[in-house]
Amino acid sequence: MQGNPGARLSSGSSWTHVYPSSAKIVFKNKQSNEEFELVFDPNNFGNASITLPYADYIYHTEVSGGNYENFLPFSAEGEFRLNSSSFDIKLQAETEYGLITVENNNLESAPILVDEGNVSMNFLGNHYFKYVRSGREPVLEIVENVFQNTIRRTVRVEAYKHYNYIVKISDGTGEVIDLQMKDFELIEEELLVNVEAVPTSQMPTLVTNLNTELRESSGLAYFNNQLWTINDSGNENMVYQVDINTGNTLKRVRVTNASNVDWESLAQNDKYLFIGDFGNNSGNRTDLTIYRVEKTKILNQEEVEAEKITFTYSDQSNFSSAINNNNFDCEAFFFANGNLHLFSKNWLDNKTKYYILPSDPGNYEAQLVTDFDTQGLITGADINQVTGDIVMVGYTNAGLSTQCFVWLFSGYSDFDIFEGKRNRIVLGSPAVLGQTEAIYLKPDNSGWISSEQISAGGFTVPGKLFSFDYKSFF
């Protein structure tokens, strides 16, 4: 019999699946137990045929593979009754593999997949490709040809999903496209290369190392011509004034009615400083709190009392512990339009969820507005109170390939902050910068970034204070 090439799985996109050049299917006669073998080319199996006696049959075929293959492994089994001179069979095949492709546009060199070593991708038509076993999480590394920057994405591979990446030149308004396709689901992502005034990478300027007392700086605020910071979990319930030139501590102000469960960010309006005690690495906290303190008291006293804003997330119902494996951690917020705007640190999908919360004392439910694919973990955010321009800082959490970054958002309307102009700038490696944790944006769109100390593998990177100037980038 002749097979039907159109019966094999197709993604529904322009991609046609690649199979091995030879496979074998075994037919077993259920009456006589006699077996018949047909060797065929799955890419063109119309050329293969076999003659069988009338009978009831069961069949099976299997093309196995490793974690990474140049063809699509599959298996098929079934049964049929042969009771006519010709009989068409559609193989009901299954696979445990997904597909990663990269279009060969704006590439400096061939992409690779990093997973316990480098895996080369094959080239076909206008695509680099690799079939990957479900459950693998390789890092896709692409070098673009505009600035020769390396773009990295961790791909969590699932069976029947086609991950297609396209490097495009961006004017800051490109969108990520999700297409639901029959059989293989096509997930197409545009990797945007910034042009015009915005580089894809720029290291901030080192101002000074922070002293050891401030080695876990996690928030920044600036008022009365003074820079203030806090340390995160396990440290004192203290707000510190920082010497901008030396990184030393100039003043300590204790918040007497607060404990530092996991202080992660500072926000402010004209009257108040807000301290975000909402770090939630395990995703199980039920005591999320923001402390509100009058700024005049911080300037004039060494001990202050705070008002409390307590809250839960509108979309959280599961409070079981999942350390660094949940989407309800938070390390970033700012004040705008009378409310507090919170941005989550999503360990599971490297996105951020955007919530709005009242800024007055009380107990509330933070309302989920939307989410955005930040392609990494957000650790700090701030807004220009004059122009509405927004910055977010974070890192990619990719092991030795981890990179720190900032996002710039502007030109939006109705506070739909992710729908205007947006650009992403890679800052550099935490091995040089430390782990970037906090950001403050001045009215002229310059500002500061602070990092916390990293100690690993026998070396220590101290916490640092950096400056940046993004005046021409918005």
What burial class does residue 167 get, using C-beta atoms within 10 Å of its C-beta: 0-12 exposed, 13-18 middle, 19+ buried? buried
Decide if pLDDT at 174 tops 50.
Answer: no
Non-local (6+) Cβ contacts of 309 within 8 A are: 274, 289, 290, 291, 292, 340, 357, 358, 359, 360, 361, 362, 364
Phi, psi (deg, nearest 5) at residue 188: -110, 125
Q: Which residue has the higher pLDDT, 184 or 170?
A: 184
Per-residue pLDDT band at 118 (split at 50, 70, 90)? very high
User: Which CATH number fits the domain 97-194, given the four candidates 1.10.510, 2.60.40, 2.60.120, 1.20.1740?
Assistant: 2.60.40
3-class secondary-structure state, position 212:
helix
Which of 141-150, 291-300, 447-456 has the largest mean confidence? Answer: 291-300
Average pLDDT over residues 2-16: 43
What pLDDT does 191 receive? 66
Q: Are 181 and 11 in contact (CB under 8 A)?
A: yes
The reported pLDDT for the residue numbered 14 is 61
pTM: 0.65
Q: CA–CA separation, 198 vs 409, rounded Å? A: 12
Give residue 197's pLDDT band: very low, low, confident or very high (50, 70, 90): low
| Beta pairing class for 150-154 and 139-143 | antiparallel
Question: pLDDT: is 398 or 57 the higher one?
Answer: 57
The string over 90-104, giving b where at least 16 C-beta atoms fall within 10 Å of a residue's C-beta and e elsewhere, is ebebebebbbbbbbb
For 331-377, the pLDDT digits (tens) are 999 999 999 999 999 999 999 999 999 999 999 999 999 999 999 99
Alpha-carbon distance of 293 to 357, in angstroms, equals 17
* Mean pLDDT (the chain, rounded): 89
Most confident residue range from 174-183, 378-387, 456-465: 378-387
- State which amino acid sits at residue 45: F
Write down the pLDDT at residue 171: 54
* Separation CA 324–CA 357 (nearest Å): 24
Q: Residue 244 corresponds to which tokens in the numbers above?
A: 């901008």
d(CA 328, CA 343): 10
Is pLDDT of 12 > 50? no
Q: What integer is the mean pLDDT of 461-465? A: 96
Closest C-alpha to 349, from 369, 373, 330: 373
At the topology level, CATH places domain 205-469 in Neuraminidase (2.120.10)
Instruction: Tell me how far apart the alpha carbons of residues 314 and 288 are, in angstroms, rounded to a whole number.
Output: 13
pLDDT at 178 over 70: no
125-150 pLDDT, tens digit per residue, is 889 999 999 999 999 998 888 767 77
